[in-house]
Amino acid sequence: MTQWQQQQRGLASLAAEEPGTSSAAIEAAADGLSELIYRVHQRLIRDLDSVQLGNLEPERARQAVEAAAKTLLGQESHAVVGELRDEVVAAVADEVLGYGPIDPLVRDASVSEVMVNAPNRVYFERDGVIYLSNVHFRNSDHILRIADRIVSPLGRRVDESSPMVDARLPDGSRVNIIIPPVAPDSPMITIRKFRTDRLTMEQLIQVGSLTEEWATFLDACVKARLNILISGGTGTGKTTLLNALSASIPERERIVTIEDPVELKLQQSHVGRLEARPPNLEGKNQVTQRDLFRNTLRMRPDRIIVGEVRGPEAFDMLNAMNTGHDGSLSTVHANSARDALARVGNMVLMAGLDLPERAIREQMASAVHLVVHIARLSDGVRRVIGISEITGMEGQTVTMQEIFRFQQRGVSTEGRIIGDFVATGIRPSFVDRFEVMGIYLPPEMFMGSRW
């Protein structure tokens, strides 16, 4: 049995493995173990020197905590032995040094997201599918204590005066915490884990996110310095796709990235990374993405990559795209390619500039060349479902034409989406730009064939 399976069975199952054990007995065992972990944890807090512990390397600190926990556990209960004792000691160490009950989920490489909705409602995502775990907290105060453990080393706080926190963990993972009264039922913690590997376009093809022909087309678009906007919902893989696309940028070009928080892992060596900074505890010294954008233009970038455009910096991004910084890439939350343009337009209005809507749309039509829309379908697979070209203006409307689309045909008995990656038969207007740059794409790529 793997460590993950043991964690999923839970400490209660380990304590009540005898055949015929009732659910009430298992629940009582879980409560007893939870109380035992709490008592040992409280004694450790009193007995251990936290300053000396903080000066140790993480591995040595955990060894010291586990050794002390074993000693205290022997004093608290002689009945907890063997495998169960090891699990209790690990749980105590997680309480002292880690993220408490959710620490095993955070450490599990196969888990991409951890979501705490309530003390007994902890979910995790694996391979695009959300599951309810056996992990639980004692109560809401327990969640609050772990939330404070998470944000305190980051120089942030979460309390009634600051009930929402969005931050980046030391390993690059993103954490969002929201507590009462804003979350009336329970404090909530959401951790989106940072991938340590860099998915390549070849790997995205293997998992069915797109076809080799689409990847070839997007590679040509990046090399031809088209401005590309990647749109999609939360957790659809926008940043992953942007990272993969960045491999097509020539090494000789200088790239500057703007993020809030840092998530990109570009595959070039000449990259300058900038990260927005939230206000400090006094509400001062904030650095916004828009501030960074203005500074970026003084850094001689060949390409500007915005991890996610989400506010007034959209105006600066469009300006940069229109003033010699071709080849820019960015992502935006949207339900469709058309919605992506509407969102960018609304974010430009947030800049507080007295611009007519037609002027904003004209700027979008001339700045953005391509919108790549990605979605996570019901089988959990993240797929590029549309690639559209911005063609100009018609009256008050930004016009666009779909070049490729994913056409769903049904669902298999295993729940897998069945569909085709289809070319619509439309030849993009910028193909001539490819030819000028020495990039050749076969004409049949756009002839409405299926892959």
98-194 sits in which CATH class? alpha beta
To which H or E segment does residue 184 belong?
Answer: none
Q: Which whole number is the average pLDDT over 217-245? A: 93
Q: What is the predicted pLDDT for the residue at 230?
A: 96
CA atoms of 80 and 88, how far apart (whole Å): 8
Q: What is the predicted pLDDT for the residue at 14?
A: 43
Lowest mean pLDDT among 67-76, 134-143, 257-266, 271-280: 67-76
| Residue 443 banded pLDDT, cuts 50, 70, 90 | confident
Q: What is the predicted pLDDT for the residue at 8?
A: 38
Task: Provide the pairing of β-strand 188-192 with 174-178.
Answer: antiparallel
Closest to 233 in 3D by CA, of 375, 406, 135, 427:
375
**pTM: predicted TM-score of the whole model, two decimal places:** 0.76
| 254: alpha, beta or left? (left if phi > 0; alpha if psi -120 to 50) | beta
Q: What is the CA radius of gyration of the chain?
A: 26
CA atoms of 253 and 22, how far apart (whole Å): 66
Q: Give the pair of three-digit tokens for residue 287.
A: 């650095």
Q: Which CATH architecture has domain 201-446?
A: 3-Layer(aba) Sandwich (3.40)
**What is the rounded average pLDDT for all residues in the chain?**
83
| Residue 385 banded pLDDT, cuts 50, 70, 90 | very high
Residues 431-447 as b/e (b if ≥16 CB within 10 A, e otherwise) read bebbeeeeeebeeebbe
CA atoms of 192 and 389, how far apart (whole Å): 31
Residues 274, 288: contact at Cβ < 8 Å? no
CA atoms of 161 and 279, how far apart (whole Å): 14
Angle at 121 between CA 115 and CA 123, to 5 degrees: 35
Q: Which whole number is the average pLDDT over 130-146? A: 89
Phi, psi of 400 (to 5 degrees): -150, 155
CA atoms of 169 and 348, how far apart (whole Å): 30
Tens digits of residue pLDDT in 56-99:
566 677 677 777 777 766 666 656 656 776 777 777 777 777 78
User: What are the structural domain ranges in the chain?
Assistant: 1-95, 98-194, 201-446
DSSP one-letter string for 209-268:
SS-HHHHHHHHHHHHTT--EEEEE-TTSSHHHHHHHHGGGS-TTS-EEEEESS-----S-
> Strand, coil or helix: what is 289?
helix
Q: Give the pair of three-digit tokens for residue 414.
A: 């295993």
- Provide the sign of the torsion angle of the four alpha carbons 144, 145, 149, 152, taken in this order: positive
